[in-house]
């Protein structure tokens, strides 16, 4: 509707005031940019690898379903919510900022709508993060040697070794009841492993203080993440999962988190509403 109104105004001005061709072109460009601004939305990141690249841990079919249906749905529903609200302040936030403000009382949303943002905005952010920490099965990025020296030191300070950290992450992921995520996060006093239900994440204001932090790695243990390959055997999934972890990206996330560059965790181009 807005685009139609803009077009009508341009035609009216041209017919009644005889604007020169060069001015007409300029006005058209301005109107196009205005239309792009008001029709902005969050974008669905493409898979950074071929769907079959993570087999046999995560099948091509599972990746396609997960990305093209679940993740796409979260992004679409987040955009619909913001469009329905029509609040330019909400649209001025990055996805990371929106997610972090869930539960803070600063979004100005009705409870039911904030719950929708919690579920869908959280799902959009979590999955944009998820794809980036995956790599093709047993590729160079999955080798423990890809862990940066400073991240390895931080892990050893907290757990004694990378293997001990992995064991704790598997244990907590397996014990999580129902759907949710296990996260490796950075806090003021070091690293920690926490879990969150559904599409909550440690950035959100509503999670308990002891679970708040900046994620640098995560395991999606919703059933749609593993059921096509493993059925009900979640422990088998969390055991095999490390064959597809991109430790190079996890190390980059660690650096970004330390610098406070939260948008780098999912890619700035997908964090912005545009």
Structurally, the chain folds into a number of domains equal to 2
165: left (phi over 0), alpha (psi -120 to 50) or beta: alpha
| Separation of alpha carbons 65 and 67, rounded Å | 6
How do residues 20-66 score in pLDDT, each as one tens digit?
Answer: 555 555 554 454 444 444 446 899 999 999 999 999 999 999 999 99
For the chain, residues with pLDDT lower than 50 are 1-3, 28-29, 31-39
Q: What is the 3-state secondary structure (H, E, C) of the chain?
A: CHHHHHHHHHHHHHHHHCCCHHHHHHHHHHHHHHHHHHCCCCCCCCCCCCHHHHCCCCCHHHHHHHHHHHHHHHHHHHHHHHHHHCCHHHHHCCHHHHHHHCCCCCCCCCHHHHHHHHHHHHHHHHHHHHHHCECCCCCHHHCHHHCCHHHHHHHHHHHCCHHHHHHHHHHHHHHCCCCEEEEEEEECCEEEEEEEECCCCCCCCCCCHHHCCEEEEEEECCHHHHHHHHCCCHHHHHHHHHHHECHHHHHHHHHHHHHCCHHHHCCHHHHCCC
**Within this chain, do residues 34 and 48 fall inside the same structural domain, yes or no?**
no
Asked whether 255 and 214 are in contact (CB, 8 A), the reply is no
**Within this chain, do residues 266 and 227 fall inside the same structural domain, yes or no?**
yes
**Within this chain, do residues 26 and 120 fall inside the same structural domain, yes or no?**
no
**Within this chain, do residues 79 and 32 fall inside the same structural domain, yes or no?**
no
The set of residues, in sequence order, having a beta carbon less than 8 Å from that of 162 and lying 6+ positions away, is 144, 147, 152, 155, 156
180 beta partners: 197
| Separation of alpha carbons 76 and 70, rounded Å | 10
**Within this chain, do residues 204 and 236 fall inside the same structural domain, yes or no?**
yes
**Within this chain, do residues 10 and 99 fall inside the same structural domain, yes or no?**
no
Asked whether 197 and 175 are in contact (CB, 8 A), the reply is no
| Separation of alpha carbons 73 and 177, rounded Å | 24
Q: Provide the domain limits for residue 106.
A: 43-274
Nearest to 135 by CA among 55, 229, 43: 55
**Within this chain, do residues 168 and 210 fall inside the same structural domain, yes or no?**
yes
* φ, ψ of residue 55 in degrees (nearest 5): -70, 145
Asked whether 145 and 224 are in contact (CB, 8 A), the reply is no
Place of tokens 């950290």: 165
| Separation of alpha carbons 128 and 137, rounded Å | 19
**To 10 degrees, the CA torsion angle through 186, 192, 195, 199?**
0
**Within this chain, do residues 28 and 58 fall inside the same structural domain, yes or no?**
no
CATH code of residue 212: 3.55.40.20
**Within this chain, do residues 181 and 235 fall inside the same structural domain, yes or no?**
yes
185 beta partners: 192, 215
Q: Which two tokens stand for residue 120?
A: 């869908």
**Within this chain, do residues 25 and 133 fall inside the same structural domain, yes or no?**
no
**Within this chain, do residues 119 and 252 fall inside the same structural domain, yes or no?**
yes
What local confidence, expressed as pLDDT, does residue 87 receive?
A: 78
**Within this chain, do residues 133 and 202 fall inside the same structural domain, yes or no?**
yes
> Model pTM?
0.85
């Amino acid at each position: 509707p807005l685009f139609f109104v803009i077009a009508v105004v341009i035609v009216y001005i041209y017919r009644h005031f005889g604007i020169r061709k060069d001015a007409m072109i300029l006005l058209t460009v301005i109107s196009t940019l205005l239309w792009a601004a008001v029709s902005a939305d969050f974008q669905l990141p493409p898979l950074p690898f071929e769907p079959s690249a993570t087999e046999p841990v995560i099948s091509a079919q599972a990746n396609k379903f997960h990305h093209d249906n679940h993740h796409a749905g979260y992004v679409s529903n987040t955009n619909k919510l913001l469009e329905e609200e029509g609040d330019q302040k909400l649209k001025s936030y990055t996805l990371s900022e929106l997610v972090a403000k869930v539960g803070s009382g600063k979004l100005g949303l009705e409870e039911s709508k904030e719950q929708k943002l919690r579920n869908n905005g959280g799902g959009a952010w979590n999955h944009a993060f998820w794809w980036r920490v995956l790599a093709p099965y047993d590729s160079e990025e999955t080798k423990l040697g890809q862990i940066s020296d400073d991240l390895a030191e931080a892990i050893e300070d907290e757990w004694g070794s990378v293997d001990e950290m992995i064991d704790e992450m598997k244990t907590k992921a397996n014990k999580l009841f129902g759907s949710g995520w296990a996260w490796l996060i950075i806090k003021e006093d070091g690293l920690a492993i926490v879990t969150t239900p559904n599409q909550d994440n440690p950035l959100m204001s509503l999670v308990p203080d002891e679970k708040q932090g900046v994620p640098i790695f995560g395991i999606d243990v919703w059933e749609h993440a593993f059921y096509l390959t493993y059925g009900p055997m979640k422990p088998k999934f969390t055991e095999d999962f490390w064959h597809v972890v991109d430790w190079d990206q996890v190390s980059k996330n660690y650096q970004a988190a330390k610098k406070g560059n939260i948008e780098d965790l999912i890619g700035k181009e997908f964090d912005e509403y545009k």
